[in-house]
Amino acid sequence: MRVETAFAAAMETLSPAHGVLVALSGGADSVCLFSLCRAYAETRHIALGAVHLNHGLRGDAADADAAFCADLCRAAKIPFYTKTVDVSAVAKAQKLSLETAARQVRYAYFDEVLDEHAQYDAVLTAHHQNDVCETMLFHLARGSGLSGLCAIPRRRGRIFRPLLDVSRADILAYNTAMGLRFVEDATNGDLAYSRNRIRHTVLPALCEVVPACVSNMGRTAKLLAADAAYLDDAAARAAADCKTPRGLDTQKAKELPLALLTRVLRTAYAESGFSDLSAVQTEALCDLIYRESQNFTLNLTASDAVCRGARLRFVPKIKNEAFDLELRVDTPLSLPCGTELLLSEDPAPRGYEDFARVRLAKDALTPPLFVRSRRAGDTLRQFGKTHKLKRLIGDAGLAADEKSKLFLVTAQGDILYVRGLATSDAAFCGKAEEPPLKSPIYIFYKDKGDAFCEKP
């Protein structure tokens, strides 16, 4: 049978060593997958379980679906893991659509179960060819690029989808042949949801024009995925070549073809700790880079793209607010200016390998210590003289975004260190490349956007 053959071929690429979990909603697709996985687990002698999330959206109907799934697992003597979450409340609190919130909560629960039960290697979901078509059409209508048109990946982390080469009609035929019972979710017919409108109106109309469109689009998605994988691999190499200690080298980046430059920018954006760089924003950045603009700032949704001297970095939107925080040994701090900071006697604490490190004289840092923003009239004692901080900043020629990142370390009211500018005579511990003159203590710091920068 087509379903069994396609499932077996897909599972050969997964080859779970210990076991799998089936995402079981009780609907036709997941019941089909559950049946296939039972036979697979028995022949391969691996663990099998089922996981079900009640989204708390359909009242008694949702409870009945959960009970159906529990009964199915009980009859098969298979472990059943379930949880109820008020997805509506999550969506409201996080300002998400119900569909997005449900998906995020569902996959978070899958991870939770996997983390708690080591006998399972992956969660299997019952996405199929029709889902691929619906996703492709939705992304096409939204103007997605190649990655969006690839629709649904076979594998993403610990999630695996073995039925992507099987149509909904194939699944229903399998269920009929096997005499399988399943439940119907009434919301699947609710045209208020965008995916349902595509499923019940757009795709059927397309099938009338091209009867084989479901299998044809599934094949196209696989071809596009192969192209995307090649481009992503090439872009990863290009991104590594463009990395510098101060950010993305735009002089090198401007030599890249558009297909690679867009991917390099998205990679840099994601590695800097942000998400959802839009197509419009990507196009604007590409235009600036191709026009050889070496100094610019572009306001993005969650960050700013800052280019200085042909070095591009993505930095958090700065909250220009004063701060004065107590600094304790081995207690990480997140500063309002977007900098992560740690004070430690350990010269190489775990997890801080890619942070900038400053060495100070321990005996000068008498508690209580504070880290704060600059103030009018700040001075620092260095080389036997008192220097105005404003003058030091002017002499260094700092740009506005660099000024916004400054922090000062103080003890007993005296400034001991100014980020990247100066260390007081009292806190000076010798040059970094030389043995310390005094017993040292270390400050580690990194801006959120530094994640993409190559470690110097």
Q: What is the CATH number of the domain that holds 273?
A: 3.30.465
Q: What is the CATH number of the domain that holds 8?
A: 3.40.50.620
Shared domain check, 132 and 111 = yes
For residue 170 the two structure tokens come to 């194939």
Shared domain check, 49 and 149 = yes
Closest CA to 159 of 192, 124, 189: 124
One-letter amino acid of 362: K
Domain final position from 269, 284, 316: 316
What is the count of structural domains for the chain? Answer: 3
Residue 404 lies in a domain: yes
Quote the DSSP letter at residue 329. B
Residue 330 lies in a domain: yes
Domain final position from 283, 316, 349: 316
Q: Which residues contact 159 (CB under 8 A, 6 or more apart)?
A: 107, 110, 122, 123, 125
Shared domain check, 435 and 295 = no
pTM (predicted TM-score) = 0.70
Residue 232 lies in a domain: no
Q: Which domain holds residue 350?
A: 324-451
Residue 128 lies in a domain: yes
Residue 251 to residue 253: CA distance in whole angstroms: 5
For residue 119 the two structure tokens come to 């006998």
Shared domain check, 81 and 27 = yes
Check: CB of residue 406 under 8 Å from CB of residue 396: no
Residue 130 to residue 165: CA distance in whole angstroms: 9
Question: pLDDT per position in the chain (456 positions), as tens?
Answer: 689 999 999 999 998 989 999 999 999 999 999 999 999 999 999 999 999 999 888 888 889 999 999 999 999 999 999 999 999 998 888 888 888 888 999 999 999 999 999 999 999 999 999 999 999 999 999 888 888 898 899 999 999 999 999 999 999 999 999 999 999 877 777 787 788 899 999 999 999 999 999 999 999 999 999 999 999 999 999 999 999 988 999 999 999 999 999 999 998 998 887 877 888 899 999 999 999 888 898 988 778 898 989 999 988 776 667 899 999 999 999 888 778 999 999 999 988 888 889 999 998 998 999 999 999 999 999 999 999 999 999 888 887 778 888 999 999 889 999 998 999 999 998 776 677 778 889 999 988 766 565 554
Q: Is 95 left (phi over 0), alpha (psi -120 to 50) or beta?
A: left
Residue 20 lies in a domain: yes
Shared domain check, 250 and 134 = no
166-193 per-residue burial string, b: 16 or more CB within 10 A, e: under 16 = bbbebbbebbeeeebebbebeeeeeeee
Partner residues linked to 156 by β-bridges:
159
Closest CA to 137 of 216, 233, 57, 235: 216
